[in-house]
Structure 1
Amino acid sequence: MCGRFAVTLPTDAMAQLFDAQPANDLPSVPNYNVCPTNQIHTVLSDGARRLTAMRWGFIPHWYKKPNDGPLLINARAETIAEKPAFRAACRERRCLIPCTGFYEWTKDEDGNRLPWYITRADGDPLVFAGVWQDWGPEAERMRTCAIVTIGANDQMSQIHHRMPVTLEQTDWAKWLGEDGHGAAKLMQPAPEGALAFHRVSTQVNSNRASGAQLIEPVAP
């Protein structure tokens, strides 16, 4: 599961990191509380890499309107090749979704939601595996995407039973389809110890919250 994340890397730094041409309509950064249906930074390849904005929330082609069915922010790696919503996209339309870190929640004995912030242990940006889909008539065309998730590794299972599929730089070309076949083999949990996490303020429980204080550690 991945339902909220933060992006703090400047747009020009992202373009340089991915060797991608940036679009003119990219969302503002930093954003410490990226929520479903927001426009997010993504990287796709159509002969050249492009840093472009997409709606986080994949819309299958048969939806008559964006809210015609469930909000598809995640795609399960175990079934992505079979589900009608995602099977064509996982073969033909894969993207990278960069972020600084993401949030997950546990509950205390009283049922209160306690947020955690998860990053790479080495401090580098996280890069999620994603799939995308254009939706809507030509005049209203919307580019939409979902984050691919997998069962959590032992470390992450302390917080949640699912985790995003994260990609190393050496795997980006394979996931984007630039380096032949074999992308399915990349849909694995992160290695143990690759991620780090800490408790953060319950402010982030609100999708209206903003600011750098959302990722600051608080006492468990």
Structure 2
Amino acid sequence: MCGRFAVTLPPDAMAQLFEAAPSNDLPEVPNYNVCPTNQIHVVMEDAGRRLVSMRWGFLPHWYKAPNGGPLLINARAETIAEKPAFKAACRERRCLIPCTGFYEWTKDENGNRLPWYIHPSQDSALVFAGVWQDWERDGQAFRTCAVVTCAANQAMSKIHHRMPVVLAPDNWAKWLGEEGRGAATLMTPAPEDALSFYRVDPAVNSNRAKGAELIAPL
């Protein structure tokens, strides 16, 4: 799964990387502790690529309030095409979610949560497959999204049995629907050598923690 991540690329660098027009309401960076319900950077296709801000936490149209059901920050690749919450978005509203790295946790023999920072082995950014949904009710309106996840590869399985679907640059256009069909074939684990990881300080266990020290090797 993916429950926290870090973003350090400036918006202009992200816009250049994706050849996307940036919105003027993008979240502040760097952010070393992006949490569910935060506004995050997302690349969507809308008569051209746009870099926009979305709420991380997908809201199906039938939710009567933002807290009207489970917090959907992840969408499982194995069931995304059938789940009522995600099936339309999987067909029509796919997006790219850039970050610098993400966190996952193991436990020690005493049950203490031990955080790990997972980052690209070579590239400067990770790009997750995502889906998005507009939600509006009673004067409230949100553009929301979720990260698509799949079974972990062998390397990541040492930490967690799930991982985000990581998209290589030559697959961005296909996931966004710019190159016709075939997006379903992309929902597979990243190559074994694509990601590296190391332990970080448990300070990141708090969703209020901030600062570059959160991604410093322990």
Which category of TM-score, normalised to the shorter sequence, fits these structures?
over 0.9
1:127 Cα deviation after fit: 0.1
CA-to-partner distance for each residue in 1:93-148, whole Å, 9 max, x for gaps? 00000000000000000000000000010042000000000001495321000000
Q: Aligned equivalents of 1:177 and 1:44: distance in 2?
A: 10
Q: Aligned equivalents of 2:12 and 2:153: distance in 1?
A: 33
1:178 Cα deviation after fit: 0.5
Q: Aligned equivalents of 1:68 and 1:138: distance in 2?
A: 13
Q: Aligned equivalents of 1:141 and 1:107: distance in 2?
A: 38
Q: Aligned equivalents of 2:137 and 2:46: distance in 1?
A: 21
Residue matched to 1:188: 188
Q: Aligned equivalents of 2:163 and 2:50: distance in 1?
A: 26
Q: 2:21 is matched by which residue type in structure 1?
A: Q
Residue matched to 2:55: 55
Matched, 1:80 2:80: yes
Greater mean alpha carbon deviation, residues 133-142 or residues 186-195: 133-142
Q: Aligned equivalents of 1:174 and 1:137: distance in 2?
A: 32
Provide runs of 4+ in structure 1 moved above 4 Å: none
Helix, strand or coil: the match of 1:14? helix
Q: 2:102 is matched by which residue type in structure 1?
A: F
Query: 2:64 touches 2:137 (CA, 8 Å); kept in 1?
Result: no
Residue matched to 1:95: 95
Residue matched to 2:207: 207
Query: 2:33 touches 2:209 (CA, 8 Å); kept in 1?
Result: yes
Matched, 1:172 2:178: no
Residue matched to 1:145: 145
1:212 Cα deviation after fit: 0.1
Q: Aligned equivalents of 2:133 and 2:87: distance in 1?
A: 11
Q: TM-score, normalised by structure 1?
A: 0.98
Residue matched to 2:12: 12
Helix, strand or coil: the match of 2:150? strand
Q: 1:213 is matched by which residue type in structure 2?
A: E
Q: Aligned equivalents of 1:170 and 1:124: distance in 2?
A: 16
Aligned pair count reads: 218
The alignment's C-alpha RMSD in Å is 0.9
Q: 1:23 is matched by which residue type in structure 2?
A: S
Q: TM-score, normalised by structure 2?
A: 0.99
Q: Aligned equivalents of 1:156 and 1:85: distance in 2?
A: 27
Helix, strand or coil: the match of 1:188? coil
Helix, strand or coil: the match of 1:24? coil
Q: Aligned equivalents of 2:153 and 2:27: distance in 1?
A: 31
Q: 1:85 is matched by which residue type in structure 2?
A: A
Q: 2:26 is matched by which residue type in structure 1?
A: L
- Structure 2 stretches lacking a partner, 5+ long: none
Q: Aligned equivalents of 1:4 and 1:141: distance in 2?
A: 24
Helix, strand or coil: the match of 1:146? strand
Q: Aligned equivalents of 2:53 and 2:101: distance in 1?
A: 18
